[in-house]
Structure 1
Amino acid sequence: MTLPSRRCLILSDPQAEHWQQIEAWFLQHDEQRRLWLAAEDDVVARSQRRAQDYLGQELDLLVFDGSELLRADSLAAIFGCLCAGGVLLLILPAQPKQSRWQQRLQNIARQCALDSDAIQWWQSSQKLPEPQCHPSSPAESVTLDQQQAITAIEKVLTGHRRRPLVLTADRGRGKSAALGMAAAQLMQQGRKVIGLTAPSKASVASVFKHALQALPDAQFQADTLYWQDRQLQFIPPDRLLAEQPVLDLLLVDEAAAIPMPMLTEMLNQYSRIVFSSTVHGYEGSGRGFATRFRQCLDQHAPGWHSHSLHTPIRWAANDQLEAFSFRALLLDAELAELDMKTLPDRSEWHYVEISADDLLANEAYCQQISTLLVQAHYRTRPSDLQLLLDQPDLRLFVLQADEQILACLWLVAEGPLNTELADAVYAGERRLKGELLPQTLLAHAGLPDAGQYHYQRIVRIAVHPNLQGRGLGTSLLQQVETELDTEMLGTSFALSEPLLRFWLANGYQPVRPGLTVDHVSGRQALVMLKAVSTSGQQLLQQAQTRLAQQWPYLLSQSLRQLPVAEVVLLSGQLPVTDVLVDPLQQQEVEAFALRQRGLAFSQFSLQRWLWSRLNTPEFAKLSQQQQAILVRLLLQQWSQAELVEALALPGKNTLLQQCRQAVQLLL
């Protein structure tokens, strides 16, 4: 069956009578298959912020009102909900001069309208054509692509262990439906517990929908689908790794939006696992996912295999609305491989600052920078280009060879804050949008003068994958330092040992860890600063002293789960505080290590003593397990029962014996 085309009617500056017509048409359509998104909720419309709530829903009429506000991520997310024969009414302001991003969008929309009958541009001087929807539900039969995907998923369970499947597709190809149908078939075959994880519960609505269709007598409660004595359970990524439940199969949907360290941990923990990801979609980083994850799979599961779905089920092949969305939001921009033989000599590479006007005038720059950011960061989204074009106080530096961009660095200016506002932030009475660095130092680090300073925050840094490991990121940072007139450089990122080592190597110092774990990355954020002025150096010293004073408490509370290697690395960067061990405490440590003094009676002395030994060559020579025992037990205040379970030790006596041996080696 040939599916009818989706169509887009672009309205520029509609007048009052046009709005009345649009609302009348909208209200005539099936309430379940229509949606109006606008800047804020009202009687008819829903806020664009809620676009992701409708993922998986099938629509015939979509009104996207961008006349006052247009969120790029919301537009990208909702494109995939419109079915074959459906109509999108995209409403844009008449004069987009205040927004370069909207100028670019309108330029592309006009070009697409000239090239395709499915895209129509309307001016307020013209008669408003009534949107004629020709709804056509997707075929109920399973496509060949989907059946092959279901077979591949089943083989993960019936074949050899450690043979994960990577399932990829563009939106609208039935990937999530295939996951749901496969889960239902496996439950019918007797599989008891299938786990499902993703960046958000909303993104797996379609998986549950198709599983329920295949199991009509199943029950769905909270996050779990129950059928007889079997279940399909949604588990957020952070909880999955913390609890590590026993599963017959783990399905990881929208894997591209989950950090690589978490995917690697899932891969190591579960021997039967399917990773699924959208390649060109609002999730943004599916393109870089395939490249980055392939290396991880080759190392940890060399027997992995893949399957791609190509046939659209929601709309026709070669759909022009999909082509428009890809072009306008750069969803399908691919990173070109570098030909190292033809690349100019490094002496001919040069650093350039690209303004927002330069970016608007050069579509090739937009594509190259977007794809570099996608490769570098799992949370890159269409709104990043919107920020690069429209956000004030933003600067973008690139390393360039001829017309090829090899690396880029994106900064935003923050501070100073006026005295009254800074005081309100410090007192917890105000929370600012943006201004991450001064706000963190005021509200979290407790530095009342931090609002007075000029900051430049590094939002992203990205290097072409073919050139990574050659010092280009460091070189770009050094170049940018010479270009900026500021007191402090800073960055914030999901803490991991490789990233921490990179920033430390470039002179940045830790000043504040996040107190909560991000549910997607499974990690705490870390703010790091580098002073580039005398006044900035004074603030950095205050921030580090403050962190050093709080560090023992933080490790025993909100940072109890921080990996041991990161505890040791961060501890070594903090100024030494009061960790002198007096003779009586030293005697107590020796009595614990060399004799049989109890841990409960020696723990305070052991903790103080360990601080003095943490960054010595002797500590570095300890085995990973010995380091873990000392750090977890003495600094992070794990209970003996917790540590015995985590290290899979026979019991508490073994733990204490190994703890005594580790202390002996440091005496």
Structure 2
Amino acid sequence: MHFADSSRKLWVLHGEAAILFTKLTVVIEQNKGDWITVTNQANLASNLFNVINPNQTKRLLGQEFKHAIFDATEAFNLDALAMLIGTLVNGSVLILLLPKDFAHWQDYDSLRWNENACPITTPNFIAHLTQVLAEHNYAINHQFVNQFPNIDSTFYNFQEQQNVLKQLLESTKTIKVVIAKRGRGKSALAGQFSHYHHCLVTAPNKNSLTTFFRFAKTTTPFYAPDELITANLDPFPEYLIIDEAAMLPLPILAKLIQLAISKHRKILLTTTVEGYEGTGQGFLLKLLADKACNFFYLQQPIRWHADDQLEQFSDHLMLNGMLSFDTQMLKKNQTIDYSQVDRQDIQALKQIYYLLKNAHYQTTLVDLRRLFDAQNLMVWQAKIGDQRVAAAVTINEGNLTDALIDEVWKGTRRPKGNLVAQSLVAHAGEKLAAKLQSLRINRIAVIELYRRQHIAQNLVQSITNYAEDHGKDFVSVSFAFSDDNYRFWLACGFNIVHIASRKETSSGTYSVMAIKAISQAGHILVEKLQHKLQRNSYWLKQIIDLPFAQIVTSDPDQGLTNEDIEELYGFCYYHRPYESTYAVLCRLHSYNQTQTSKIDLPILSALITNNTSELPVIQQMQLTGKNALMQALKQELAGWLGYWHSAQP
């Protein structure tokens, strides 16, 4: 155990969870505190009254606690640990429980990020954890040393915060953004700001606003983001405060900002840099690029001392600001080497993670765990000398059994992994996509200084060459549609084969799937999927806000085919999604209208007339909700399919 001059302490113990918790009861009884306990264990001692599951730790955000236990004996949830550490105040002890033996330990947290139904060993992460513990002089112990820091846990240093508050009040910009690491007092600062203006506050979770309301004007109202967007408040307060803005889905955040601007009101945003949710600064810079903003930064912690060793340990373990890049420009005739990264080269994997983190605001600690130890994953790099300037991550997909593919098509199973392969079966209705062997590009990034020099394109070509050499049928990618993304993948030789019918929550735009065929079977798959997309786009362009004329040429031939009938059966008698069957339903409606002895399909007609808007149809048909609407539609279709089948020769 390590007890240097630090405001917060870390104890590292290992053994069996039940035994460790039993012994800890004495420590807890002798030392008053909140003792937040993050664990999957059940039936713990009665004096452990603040027990929370690792996947529920977001509920702790914005609050402050003294003393905690983090149980990693079965699963090491790095996100949960990051959140917990950020809530602990000066004078706290964090007790980290590790398994008795790492040699054959299987980490149940891998079920979150590894494409396997069973937990796996995580040797790279364990090596990283062990190295960080050693570098910070934390020994893994069997015995307890009941030694607690004798420090005033109410220590706060508000000087920097007060300076920034003064700057905020003097700023005339419409949007003010406060950016800081955890524990710097962003929420407290926002609360103090509410005393000077008429404000309302919103946040991803009201429970995370405990600190905000401790400092805020007591009459400051809270609205959940969705509620605020639809509330039509009049009058609207002078300021909209959005706490932990980077945790909100991009489209929700954009709507909130637009709402305030449309009412000629101002906005105060707070967000976390290098948090578990990704790099909040990059997130906001992307969203606010064309808006009048002032950015304010808090550097000094207020929940703990500036030299806090628990924060240093946390930053090191989670690679927060621990690495840097050489930013020299690429010189002419300088050789760029494209290669696969050795998955046992932990230092290289750390640098790849940091590269991805700086390039993508959505890169999180889950990506770090995946890079370290996920199975069925390959990592690629572009290097100039010793410097990595680009990276990519690929995942093997396909080669599923016919029985499993049928269940995926029916919507009765959706096993882990095979994102593109399964989606093309489940949503595009093409079973061949999961039968063939493919390589999916999961991530690709280039350091900003080296972009627009064809490095990413050449890296994709290296991946394609590997796929061809190893008998793959195609390379795939799924990306959030934008003009830049679309042009890039087109330049890499990919063909758009499927467009999602709903916007992604995280990006606020539509997910697009593209394929680069390699084998003859791969070319056949692309041809089939493109033909289906050309037929479906005739109807999809009415409900999906994308430049279809730029992406695909619609096929005017909208006759009902045997394949369409099969998809109608899949929707009616199995669990194929309504959105995936929409174009086929439109063709059925059009076909039915031309028949002399047409079958009455009132629900289908109402849905198509309302461009899939369900609420008016539910009200018109006096149904109880969406489930009832879908059941009524299926009954209607069952009648038509029965009639159609009886009419066949």
TM-score range, shorter chain: 0.7 to 0.9
CA contact (8 A) 1:330 1:382 kept: no
How many angstroms apart in 2 are the aligned matches of 1:67 and 1:56? 27
CA contact (8 A) 1:555 1:635 kept: no
Q: Please tell me the residue identity of whatever aligns with 2:294.
A: H
Task: List aligned pairs for 1:129-140, cutoff 5 A.
Answer: 129-130=145-146, 132=148, 136-139=152-155
Normalising by structure 2, what TM-score? Answer: 0.73
Displacement of 1:28 in angstroms is: 6.6
Q: 1:165 to 1:16 in 2, by over 3 A?
A: closer
How many angstroms apart in 1 are the aligned matches of 2:499 and 2:31? 51
1:8 to 4, 7, 10: 10
Task: Give deviations 1:409-431, integer Å, cap 9, x for gaps.
Answer: 11111222222222222111112
Q: Please tell me the residue identity of whatever aligns with 2:129.
A: L
Equivalent residue number for residue 568 of structure 1: 549
How many angstroms apart in 2 are the aligned matches of 1:205 and 1:152? 28
- Is 1:578 matched with 2:578? no
- Is 1:60 matched with 2:66? yes
CA contact (8 A) 2:380 2:391 kept: yes
Equivalent residue number for residue 225 of structure 2: 235
Task: Give deviations 1:207-254, integer Å, cap 9, x for gaps.
Answer: 4642365344x4xxxxxxxx5xxx3434259x8599899663333444
CA contact (8 A) 1:62 1:89 kept: yes
Q: 1:107 to 1:353 in 2, by over 3 A?
A: same
1:537 to 508, 515, 523: 523
Normalising by structure 1, what TM-score? Answer: 0.71
- Is 1:468 matched with 2:457? no
Displacement of 1:382 in angstroms is: 1.6
Q: 1:369 to 1:256 in 2, by over 3 A?
A: farther
1:143 to 158, 164, 170: 158
How many angstroms apart in 2 are the aligned matches of 1:276 and 1:167? 5
- Is 1:20 matched with 2:35? no
- Is 1:384 matched with 2:367? yes
Q: 1:523 to 1:205 in 2, by over 3 A?
A: farther
Q: 1:131 to 1:49 in 2, by over 3 A?
A: farther
Task: Give deviations 1:20-56, integer Å, cap 9, x for gaps.
Answer: 20255447766x8222223466656532111212112
2:343 to 356, 361, 386: 356
1:48 to 36, 41, 54: 54
Report the number of matched residues.
532
Q: 1:509 to 1:208 in 2, by over 3 A?
A: farther
CA contact (8 A) 2:90 2:155 kept: no
Equivalent residue number for residue 95 of structure 1: 102
Q: Please tell me the residue identity of whatever aligns with 2:535.
A: Q
- Is 1:165 matched with 2:176? yes
Q: Please tell me the residue identity of whatever aligns with 2:95.
A: L
1:332 to 321, 324, 328: 321
1:178 to 176, 185, 189: 189
How many angstroms apart in 1 are the aligned matches of 2:350 and 2:151? 34
Displacement of 1:137 in angstroms is: 4.0
How many angstroms apart in 1 are the aligned matches of 2:455 and 2:231? 36
Q: Please tell me the residue identity of whatever aligns with 1:511.
A: V
Equivalent residue number for residue 240 of structure 2: 250
Displacement of 1:327 in angstroms is: 0.6
CA contact (8 A) 1:400 1:407 kept: yes
Q: Please tell me the residue identity of whatever aligns with 2:344.
A: D
Displacement of 1:13 in angstroms is: 3.1
Equivalent residue number for residue 139 of structure 2: 121
How many angstroms apart in 2 are the aligned matches of 1:264 and 1:50? 26
Displacement of 1:464 in angstroms is: 0.6
How many angstroms apart in 1 are the aligned matches of 2:168 and 2:90? 28
Task: List aligned pairs for 1:515-664, cutoff 5 A.
Answer: 515-557=501-543, 559=544, 562-563=545-546, 566-570=547-551, 573-574=552-553, 576-578=555-557
How many angstroms apart in 2 are the aligned matches of 1:638 and 1:542? 26
Q: 1:542 to 1:638 in 2, by over 3 A?
A: closer
Q: 1:260 to 1:57 in 2, by over 3 A?
A: closer
How many angstroms apart in 2 are the aligned matches of 1:37 and 1:638? 44
Q: Please tell me the residue identity of whatever aligns with 1:168.
A: I
How many angstroms apart in 2 are the aligned matches of 1:300 and 1:393? 42
> How many percent identity over aligned positions?
27
CA contact (8 A) 1:195 1:235 kept: no
Secondary structure of the residue that 1:102 maps to in structure 2? helix
Q: 1:111 to 1:209 in 2, by over 3 A?
A: closer
2:463 to 474, 477, 480: 480
Q: Please tell me the residue identity of whatever aligns with 1:273.
A: I
- Is 1:85 matched with 2:91? yes
CA contact (8 A) 2:498 2:533 kept: yes
Secondary structure of the residue that 2:389 maps to in structure 1? strand
Task: Give deviations 1:175-218, integer Å, cap 9, x for gaps.
Answer: 122112213x14xx4x2x53535xxx23x6444642365344x4
How many angstroms apart in 1 are the aligned matches of 2:457 and 2:327? 20
CA contact (8 A) 2:395 2:441 kept: yes
How many angstroms apart in 2 are the aligned matches of 1:276 and 1:483? 44
CA contact (8 A) 2:180 2:273 kept: yes
Task: List aligned pairs for 1:348-427, cutoff 5 A.
Answer: 348-358=335-345, 360=346, 362=347, 365-427=348-410
How many angstroms apart in 2 are the aligned matches of 1:549 and 1:490? 22
Q: 1:333 to 1:111 in 2, by over 3 A?
A: closer
- Is 1:152 matched with 2:161? no
Task: Give deviations 1:479-521, integer Å, cap 9, x for gaps.
Answer: 2111123112112223223222222222222333333333343
CA contact (8 A) 2:91 2:149 kept: yes
Q: 1:29 to 1:287 in 2, by over 3 A?
A: same
How many angstroms apart in 2 are the aligned matches of 1:409 and 1:182? 43
Displacement of 1:133 in angstroms is: 6.1
Displacement of 1:403 in angstroms is: 1.3
How many angstroms apart in 1 are the aligned matches of 2:214 and 2:135? 43
Task: Give deviations 1:521-579, integer Å, cap 9, x for gaps.
Answer: 3223222222222111212222222233333443444x2xx25xx34333xx2563427
CA contact (8 A) 2:498 2:513 kept: yes
Secondary structure of the residue that 1:434 maps to in structure 2? coil
CA contact (8 A) 2:91 2:151 kept: yes
Q: Please tell me the residue identity of whatever aligns with 1:356.
A: R
Displacement of 1:392 in angstroms is: 0.8
Q: 1:4 to 1:481 in 2, by over 3 A?
A: closer
Equivalent residue number for residue 481 of structure 2: 495
Deviates more, 1:10-19 or 1:454-463: 10-19
1:111 to 135, 156, 159: 135
How many angstroms apart in 2 are the aligned matches of 1:514 and 1:42? 44
Equivalent residue number for residue 571 of structure 2: none
Displacement of 1:476 in angstroms is: 1.0
Q: Please tell me the residue identity of whatever aligns with 1:95.
A: F
How many angstroms apart in 2 are the aligned matches of 1:416 and 1:232? 51
Task: List aligned pairs for 1:188-227, cutoff 5 A.
Answer: 189=197, 191=198, 194=200, 196=202, 201-202=204-205, 205-207=207-209, 209-211=211-213, 213-216=215-218, 218=219
Task: Give deviations 1:296-334, integer Å, cap 9, x for gaps.
Answer: 64x543xx4332112211111110010011111102235
Secondary structure of the residue that 1:123 maps to in structure 2? coil
- Is 1:286 matched with 2:280? yes
Q: 1:531 to 1:172 in 2, by over 3 A?
A: same
CA contact (8 A) 1:258 1:521 kept: no
Secondary structure of the residue that 2:503 maps to in structure 1? coil
CA contact (8 A) 1:167 1:277 kept: yes
How many angstroms apart in 2 are the aligned matches of 1:460 and 1:150? 39
CA contact (8 A) 2:537 2:554 kept: no
- Structure 2: segments with no counterpart, 5+ residues: 105-120, 560-585, 588-607, 614-649
